[in-house]
Amino acid sequence: MTDSAQGDSIVILFRGGRLPQWHQLDDEQRLNYERLHVDLMLSVSEHHGLIGIHGYRLLTPQNSWERFWTIEFPDLAGAEAWMAAETEPPYGHYGFYSYSLARRWQPESLSWLPRKPEPSVAPDTDPHLIPPLTVDPSSIVVLAFGGWRRGSDQVDPQTRGDEERQQRLQEVAQDHDLIHGEVFRLVGTNTEGEFIWILEFPQLAGAEAYIEAEKAPPAESYHKRNYHLARRWAPDYFATWPPRTGN
């Protein structure tokens, strides 16, 4: 994946889960619907040049919202095709879907965020063959939704404490061995704000320290944040989806 391709890409931020009716189906129906769904989504991935797909399962589901996904394509056409295919029946009748579109946010001030390498993938791995899927228990992920409080972007950075906030966050990253960090800026905004931060730590203590650092004054009074804790969802399997960047 090139930097230029990533810079021009569009990212689907997807809050999803299964509706209660899904669990009323018998095992054979669920398995058949899952296979049809995966085959369809893989075809969209191949046709539109999927850049990457990463899933996270919330530690505490919010009603039907169980998982959060970032799904990245080179252009809007790929994102539109993905969202249309994902809701197609029969599988689509049983899902909860909430989408936002975003771009990667990579200013120089965030160059300290590390990027975790993709898992290695054997050349003969077939993503059409679905293994048992589970979380990766080796790390904890903070999903931080938020942005400026109204009018705060007009306040002087020194008054807001921007430099002190950056220093606190970098100290947390260093002290707690931050594994991975990335930020997305919504195309538009919503009630939670215009940014989503994804930060992965080896232990819960790192996630707690990050949240405490974000809450420190004076910066806290100029930002709004909504935090969720999660674990990576089946990263080894989804690394097999095209293109295979972990070879």
CATH code at position 78: 3.30.70.1030
Domain contains 246: no
53 — pLDDT class (breaks 50, 70, 90): very high
Span 150-175, average pLDDT: 93
Same domain, 17 and 121: yes
In percent, the amount of the chain with pLDDT more than 90 equals 85
Same domain, 112 and 154: no
* Average pLDDT score over the chain: 93
Domain that holds residue 194: 140-230
Domain contains 243: no
Number of domains, the chain: 2
d(CA 81, CA 91): 16
Asked whether the predicted pLDDT for residue 245 surpasses 60, the reply is no
Looking at residue 153, its pLDDT comes to: 82
Same domain, 148 and 117: no
d(CA 185, CA 103): 5
With tokens 């029946």, the residue in question is 89
Span 141-170, average pLDDT: 93
Domain contains 244: no
With tokens 């009748």, the residue in question is 93
Asked whether the predicted pLDDT for residue 244 surpasses 70, the reply is no
Looking at residue 247, its pLDDT comes to: 39
Same domain, 104 and 83: yes
Span 183-192, average pLDDT: 90
Looking at residue 219, its pLDDT comes to: 87
Same domain, 161 and 105: no
3-state secondary structure of 117: coil
- Concatenated DSSP letters for 29-65? HHHHHHHHHHHHHHHHHHHHT--EEEEEEEEEEETTE
Domain contains 52: yes
Looking at residue 246, its pLDDT comes to: 41
Same domain, 129 and 163: no
Same domain, 131 and 9: yes
Asked whether the predicted pLDDT for residue 2 surpasses 90, the reply is no
Same domain, 28 and 127: yes
Same domain, 10 and 132: yes
Same domain, 29 and 129: yes
Domain contains 218: yes
Same domain, 220 and 162: yes
Same domain, 129 and 27: yes
Looking at residue 6, its pLDDT comes to: 52
Domain contains 245: no
Asked whether the predicted pLDDT for residue 39 surpasses 70, the reply is yes
Domain contains 165: yes
